[in-house]
Amino acid sequence: MTKFVSYYRADHSIAWGRLDGGTVYDATPTAPSLAEAIAAGALDSLAHYTDRPVALSEVRLAPVIPEPGKIICIGVNYRTHRDEIGRAAPQAPVVFARYADSQMGHGEDALKPVHSAQFDYEGEVALVISRPAHRVSKAEAYDHVAGYAVYNDFSVRDWQLAASQWLPGKTWPGTGGFGPCLVTAGEVGDVTELELTTRVNGEVRQRGKVADLINDIPSVIEYVTAFTPLSPGDVIVTGTPGGVGLFMEPRGFVVDGDVVEVEVSRLGTLRNTVRDVS
């Protein structure tokens, strides 16, 4: 399985490399960042790269793509989530944005605003764009995907729901969990077979399959690239299944100290601990 990670050096700069078991092979000399390696079409040539080994246990993981130019998120894209909301299927994909500086990596804290009583999780599958994509057809969509990773679109619901647009609840620092690694598209194979599970303190809250998306990945890529061009390293977060805390009875929002895990078959498990911040 060909996997790549971004990680923090001791001086807080970000490096990246190929992940193999408990070892990261620092590939920064081949390209300054994972996004730039993707743009250069270099990932396949690094499938067996073994230079500059670093123990995974000695590094802190960064978001898979720390500074994507665009993070496009798709809302209400699983039938189970649509049903718990109680709304009809939208005529077009629901699209909103997240900012790069809202992201954190696997193992980093999810930062809950201390004054928010409605901090929620959304386990999702993210894809990373491999080459320039503008007005891409569904038939060509997968040719523009470098790979996939796990995402947790933590949401500050009291801010999200108080506005007509979702952006105020979706871009707080430390709320976009992205990791642990990028698995290349060729290694993933049929992405519709991926299964997602979200757990809070070990309790299963969400289950879903990519096959259950209302708007499948080719449709999403076609729709998004019709109105905005995407570049290598840009990210599309494809949607969350039912089971978010907002619609539980009683509500299941997460609080300081809760551990949230999003596991996706073939992609790994993203783990973040919720911490209150002022």
Amino acid at 245: G
Using the CB atoms, write b or e for 123-145: b if 16+ within 10 Å: bbbbbbbbeebeebeeeebeebb
Please report, for residues 65, 149, 235, the alpha-carbon distance to residue 70 in angstroms, rounded to integers and kept in the order given: 11, 16, 6
* CB neighbour list of residue 228: distance below 8 Å, 6 or more residues apart: 70, 72
Which two three-digit tokens encode residue 192?
A: 């519709």
Specify the pLDDT at position 29.
98
Strands 268-277 and 110-113: parallel
Q: Which residues pair with 222 in a beta bridge?
A: none
Each residue's pLDDT tens digit in the chain (278 positions)?
A: 799 999 999 999 999 999 999 999 999 999 999 999 999 999 999 999 999 999 999 999 999 999 999 999 999 999 999 989 887 777 899 999 999 999 999 999 999 999 999 999 999 999 999 999 999 999 999 999 999 999 999 999 999 999 889 999 999 999 999 999 999 999 999 999 999 999 999 999 999 999 999 999 999 999 999 999 999 999 999 999 999 999 999 999 999 999 999 999 999 999 999 999 99
* Distance of alpha carbon 98 from alpha carbon 170, whole angstroms: 6
**H or E, element range at 145:** strand 145-153
What share of residues in the chain are helix, strand, coil (percent, to 5)? 25, 35, 40
**Alpha-carbon distance 258 to 32, whole Å?**
35
- Whose tokens are 């605003």? That residue is 113
- Domains of the chain by range and CATH? 3-61 (no CATH), 71-277 (3.90.850.10)
C-alpha to C-alpha distance for 45 and 161, rounded to whole angstroms: 46
**C-alpha to C-alpha distance for 136 and 133, rounded to whole angstroms:** 6
Say how far apart CA 90 and CA 219 lie, in whole Å: 14
Asked whether the beta carbons of 245 and 252 are under 8 A apart, the reply is yes
Kindly state the tokens that stand for 24: 């990261």
Question: Are 265 and 194 in contact, with CB atoms under 8 Å apart?
Answer: yes
CB 30 within 8 A of CB 44: no
| Residue in 211, 242, 277, 209 with CA at minimum distance from that of residue 121 | 242
Give dist(CA 134, CA 11) in Å, integer: 37
Report the distance separating Cα 233 and Cα 45, nearest Å: 18
